Amino acid sequence: MRSIELFTGAGGMAIGMARAGFDHEVVIERDYDSCETIRLNQRRRIWPVVDWNLEAVNVERYDYGSIKSGIELVAGGPPCQPFSLGGKHAGQKDERNMFPQAVRAIRELKPRAFVFENVKGLLREGFTKYFNYVLLQLEFPSCLRKLSEEWTDHHAQLQRLKTQGRYDDLRYNIVVDLLNAANFGVPQRRERVFIVGFRSDVREKWSFPQPTHSKDALLKDMWITGNYWERHELAKRHRPQCDFRLLASVERLRQQDAFSSLKPWRSVRDGIAGLPDPVKYRNSGIPNHIFNPGARPYAGHTGSPLDEPAKTLKAGDHGVPGGENMMLLPNGEVRYFTVRESARLQEFPDDYIFYGSWTESMRQIGNAVPVTLAEIVGKSVARALRNGSCFGNRCGSN
pTM of the shown model = 0.91
Give the largest Cα separation in the chain, rounded: 70
Position 198, amino acid: F
3-state secondary structure 191-242: EEEEEEEEECCCCCCCCCCCCCEEHHHHHHHHHCCCHHHHHCCCCHHHCCCC
Predicted confidence pLDDT, tens digits, the chain (398 residues)? 999 999 999 999 999 999 999 999 999 999 999 999 999 999 999 999 999 999 999 999 999 999 999 999 999 998 855 554 444 433 344 355 789 999 999 999 999 999 999 989 889 888 889 999 999 999 999 999 999 999 999 999 999 999 987 888 999 999 999 999 999 999 999 999 999 999 999 987 899 999 999 999 999 999 999 999 999 999 999 999 999 999 999 999 999 877 889 999 999 999 999 999 999 999 899 999 999 999 988 887 889 999 999 999 988 544 444 457 899 998 899 999 999 999 999 999 999 999 999 999 999 999 999 999 999 999 999 999 988 654 333 444 43
Q: For residue 255, give Cα distances in angstroms to 224, 250, 251, 252.
A: 11, 9, 6, 5
Identify the helix (H) or strand (E) that includes residue 221.
Answer: helix 215-223
Task: Report the candidate in 116, 119, 84, 87 with the shortest Cα–Cα distance to residue 192.
Answer: 119
